Amino acid sequence: MFTTAAQFFQAGGPMMWVILIVAALALAVTVERLTFFMRTAADDAGELGATTARQINDNEIPTALEALGETGGPARRLMRRATETAWEGLGAVEIRQSVEELAMREMPRYGRRLNYLAMLANVATLAGLLGTIFGLQQSFGSLAIAEAADKSSVLAAGISQAMNTTAFGLMVAMPLLAVHSRLASLAERRTEDCDAAVVKLLNFFDARERQYANRQERRTAV
């Protein structure tokens, strides 16, 4: 098996190395994105927001801050910013403004580097096609100077190079497109979940402030 793969790679010519480098870069991006989604930003944003709101409502802001931690994905960071701002005694408007400022930096993290996968898939395909052209040029260029007995072997080598690079380029590009589509869908879903959870938490602060103002008005009226 390994011998066959080595022969396939060697017969493909120099463009096989270019496609291999593209595949390695794509693998690195894929691993980084999967690590981000499955570990760094693996929180259930809705549940995290509900828990944070409940702790704040019970006047357990230090507990909420400790649970949110110092690091994590966008949802955790945004909720921590909202909780910290509330702990400083600022109002709902200031909390919302502070969170919106941080969201401009945090929300793009969900889709970061995903465009590289689509770009690398295109590069792999084009590198395979370029290798095909090189193989055909080698075939027809060598036919003019090769001996009659060697023409068939020269032609076969050039065609083998052309077909192998095309095949290898597609072998890399097709899975990359599927991975890109899956990760892009995951990023979109996580972005929507985070946005919904953070908005609910901000609305909680708005409602909490209104309830406090209403209580103050009733006490004043009495």
Ranges under pLDDT 70 in the chain: 1-3, 140-158, 221-222
Q: For residue 164, what are the CA distances in angstroms to 22, 35, 143?
A: 16, 33, 20
The amino acid present at 32, given as its one-letter code, is E
Report the alpha-carbon distance of residue 97 to residue 36 in Å, rounded.
27
Query: In this structure, are residues 45 and 194 in contact, taking their beta carbons and an 8 Å threshold?
Result: yes
- pTM for the whole thing? 0.83
- Model confidence over 162-197: pLDDT tens digits? 788 889 999 999 999 999 999 999 999 999 999 999
pLDDT tens for each residue of 148-166: 555 566 666 667 777 888 8
Phi, psi (deg, nearest 5) at residue 150: -100, -5
Question: Do 169 and 125 touch, CB atoms closer than 8 A?
Answer: yes
Inter-residue contact 19 to 175 (CB < 8 Å): no
pLDDT confidence of residue 158: 66
* 151 Cβ neighbours under 8 A, 6+ residues apart: 143
